[in-house]
Amino acid sequence: MESIQQTVTELGEHFNQRMAEFQRSLQSSIPATSPSSNVNAQFAAFRSFILSSLEALQAQVQLLSRQHDDMEMRCRRKILLVHGVPESKNERVEAAITKILSEHLTTVSIDETCISRCHRLGSPRSDKARAILIKFRDLSIRNKVWFGKTCFKNTGVTLSEFLTKERHDVFMAARQRLGIAKCWTKDGRIVAIGSDGARKHILTMAELNIFAPESEDPAPALKAVASTSSASTGPKMVKVNRQRKIAKR
């Protein structure tokens, strides 16, 4: 669905560009006083009709994409991702994850019968343990595990919702613009806190751009860190450069 939307957007841009070129050529070849000058007006009306049709088509594709994303997210409502669990060669993922959950969660009793599906995501990696996907049989158990995620603080294990690609991209962009502490997910929706303290549920990048426009300048905190680090590393860099010059001489 995302590729279709991108194709429609590119088609509209290409059509608009070619139409503008053709219209300029038409206006230069047919004088305004010519009996055929009405062709310019007819062409302008035809161009306006085509562009409005493409805009309507793009709006329909966006609506279908939104509905498809909602359906996909509903299919994932019983799923959670667990990050930071060490990976071994001949592991039993179900046993390992139920042991970790039962050791840290005090509000719910977890065993292998509570889990419908459990496996790691992606191909094995030597530098990082893969996330574990857990699909629970009961939505209430899933919610108890999710709302008890604070029990894993300082353990190296974290939980996250299994977002669609579009919502994951929006979530990562929101965290970058607003900060980690002011952005989280709940029931597949991104919850963000603005500069005025107001909360907003965000689903699309367009909604994020309205709520928190992307800033060209870095945050003041990042500027302070950058200036501090540059000030502390300045003398060391000068000293190294001098040593290199002496060595060359």
Domain 77-162 CATH class label:
alpha beta
CA dihedral 70→75→78→82, nearest 10 degrees, is -80
Q: Is residue 32 very low, low, confident or very high in pLDDT (cuts 50, 70, 90)?
A: low
Q: Residue 163, Cβ neighbours under 10 Å: how many?
A: 21
State residue 162's pLDDT score: 95
pLDDT, tens only, 47-81: 787 778 778 888 888 888 888 889 999 999 999 99
pLDDT score for 125: 84
Spatial contact of 8 and 53, defined as CB atoms under 8 Å apart? no
Q: In the prediction, which pLDDT does 5 show?
A: 67
| 92, 95, 115, 116 from 119: Cα distances, Å | 9, 11, 11, 11
Burial class (CB in 10 A: 0-12, 13-18, 19+), 69: buried
* Tokens coding 205: 């990048």
pLDDT for residue 66: 86
pLDDT recorded at residue 130: 93
Question: Looking at residue 1, what is its pLDDT?
Answer: 62
Query: Model confidence over 187-228: pLDDT tens digits?
Result: 999 999 988 888 899 988 888 998 988 774 444 444 443 443
Q: CA separation (Å) from 111 to 51, 108, 156, 206?
A: 58, 10, 21, 41
